[in-house]
């Protein structure tokens, strides 16, 4: 398969949806949350460029989802993985 045949937008949606499974450390005031960042670095960079996560570079094993990233993560999780959805 040629790289031009890969839909990176769909990959990014799947990565963001899967982050919902590992949410922890939710901040009540700001609505942000942390998720494990054991995903493809290119996908994480694209999510960061869309302001859905804070900069993933660093020693931490998790990344902070922005308020919008947290909301979209849950929305995508249920859209992509819920039965009957």
Give the residue-averaged pLDDT of 48-73: 95
Question: Is the pLDDT reported for residue 85 higher than 60?
Answer: no
What gap in Å lies between CA 33 and CA 42, rounded to an integer? 21
Neighbouring-strand partners of residue 35:
63
Q: Residue 68: its pLDDT value, please?
A: 96
CA dist 70 and 28 (Å) reads 12
Q: What is the mean pLDDT of the chain?
A: 91
Tens-digit pLDDT profile for residues 61-84: 999 999 999 999 999 999 999 998
CA distance 26 to 23: 7
* Whether the predicted pLDDT of 27 surpasses 90: no
| Residues 1-13 pLDDT 10s | 677 789 999 999 9
């Amino acid at each position: 398969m040629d790289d031009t045949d890969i839909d990176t937008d769909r990959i990014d949606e799947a990565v963001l949806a899967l982050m919902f499974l590992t949410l922890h450390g939710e901040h009540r005031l700001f609505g942000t949350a942390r998720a494990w960042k054991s995903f493809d670095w290119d996908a994480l960079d694209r999510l960061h460029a869309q302001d859905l996560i804070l900069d993933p570079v660093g020693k931490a094993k998790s990344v902070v989802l922005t308020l919008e990233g947290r909301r979209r993560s849950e929305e995508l999780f249920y859209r992509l993985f819920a039965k009957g959805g």
